Structure 1
């Protein structure tokens, strides 16, 4: 029987060495093989095998994402054609996707290899860009270029034109992405268990001004008016292409494209709800700090200290 194999994905700049060391020591005790993307091989001990990104998911039983939500999104994109469970270790600021704190990692690793966890399925959006299928687990955004005017975009659903947007940007999000840019632009919060696509305009001037929620089975097409300013196509925060007036993009929904490990789903939902509430408070972090009791204030200060790259 082949040993259990775990792949690691690392935050691009944060110091992940303490977490990696914990995983390496645990793997040696449990007879677990470890792999990492080839581009990160210099950041891990030599006993961790270096593999191409394209084969990391297909050759591993599970992946561990070490970082924040951005690292987690990148890890999920690696698994889209071969979904394997992804455990998130939190080194970021918000962490709506990641669940495990570094101090809870030893128990989480044991539960991972023993199968004592639940899987939270995540959908993604597929966008034909530059001839290839590009996927987003959070959102696909059409954003205007500063100084070039507003975008004018027609909303087309299953071939039928429903109206137009005249706005700064147009955000198409999954339920997971409803807590990100779409939420900041006034979009609704959608349960990760739901199947839906949310279209939210940012700074609309005319046309459709409110979010639209679509069925996952509807084909979405966004057409730039010939006189529209050009737009950047942004996929999970990465600008992949610029399109001109008269161009269009199509977005499709793909179910169960990713599997996120959940050890305590109820507690994770409570934490996410609290983080969203804190985002709506009109207070700076240092102002919130003064409301905490002394022991919690010390813990807050510790977590606010940036990692050394």
Structure 2
């Protein structure tokens, strides 16, 4: 194939230099082009070209996300108008999207070069938040400010009023987002192969108290009622609006908005299944370690296990 062009998307605060150095060394051996966003220029070696976010997406073949699920979601949002395959390199504690561990990276890059991978399409939520257009690959949430009452909002689906919520938070998620905030709020796990939107209240006091699952062809509208507590609006865990007491959020499902590189889908599914089972164990990290075979405990040594979520 022609010279491969890789765009690096870096975790905003973690030290990513060992992974970047590995990629840079691989790129030098294979005559690959590397680029990064201009704001991250000081975090990468000189051969890596710096460019605007828009040019980074347009000018690369694959985005390499270095971090955890949050970094991966940021890369997907960055490319939502021009989807590019995203390879996730895991530096986080508990990732459901990322697949590649740093020691596996050179072999993974070799497979990118030879095309030995599949691309997994992901949906997103296209949201109108009081007139502002945003996208969410995991979820969008309306969250009360502590000590100031409850989120009180109505639910309409395709213009049909369904009822109201009075709760701590309202979480609207995609299938891949069903393992995140929605799951923590008591929502169902949705297969990534399913096309659906899930609306889940957290700590409901009155009104609708269970998850609502709607079709991808239906529009969800959440509108704050008079007297609602001030709410923050989070998109994939990032606060985009804070202290709102009125307004509406319109949410539509968008097909195939993001592309994720999968090198070993079966192994990835097994890892995700294990991570989900760990979430349901009410044990501290040191207690989880005791459940592992002795040989694996020795291999881990002092490495930290994922904290309970």
Q: TM-score interval w.r.t. the shorter chain? A: over 0.9
Tell whether 2:283 aligns with 1:283: yes
Kindly indicate whether the alpha-carbon contact (under 8 Å) linking 1:57 and 1:79 is maintained by their aligned counterparts in 2: yes
Give ranges in structure 1 of 5+ residues lacking alignment.
Answer: none
Runs of 4+ in 1 over 2 A off after TM superposition: 129-132, 242-246, 290-295, 298-303
* Aligned pairs, number: 306
Please give the secondary structure, in 2, of the residue aligned with 1:193.
Answer: coil
Give ranges in structure 2 of 5+ residues lacking alignment.
Answer: none
State the Cα deviation string for residues 186-212 of structure 1 (Å, max 9, x = none). 111111111110000000011110001
TM-score by length of 2: 0.95
- CA distance, structure 2, for counterparts of residue 68 and residue 301 of structure 1: 22
Q: Partner of 2:249 in structure 1?
A: 249
Superposed counterparts of 1:108-257, under 5 Å: 108-129=108-129, 131-242=131-242, 244-257=244-257
Q: 1:246 to 1:71 in 2, by over 3 A?
A: closer
TM-score by length of 1: 0.95
Tell whether 2:271 aligns with 1:271: yes
Tell whether 2:104 aligns with 1:104: yes
State the Cα deviation string for residues 20-76 of structure 1 (Å, max 9, x = none). 111111111111100011111111100000111122111100000011101100111
State the Cα deviation string for residues 191-248 of structure 1 (Å, max 9, x = none). 1111110000000011110001011111110011112112111111111113644421
- CA distance, structure 1, for counterparts of residue 279 and residue 260 of structure 2: 24
Q: 1:24 to 1:281 in 2, by over 3 A?
A: same
- CA distance, structure 2, for counterparts of residue 142 and residue 214 of structure 1: 18
Q: 1:43 to 1:298 in 2, by over 3 A?
A: farther
- CA distance, structure 2, for counterparts of residue 55 and residue 37 of structure 1: 9
Deviation at 1:298, TM superposition (A): 3.5
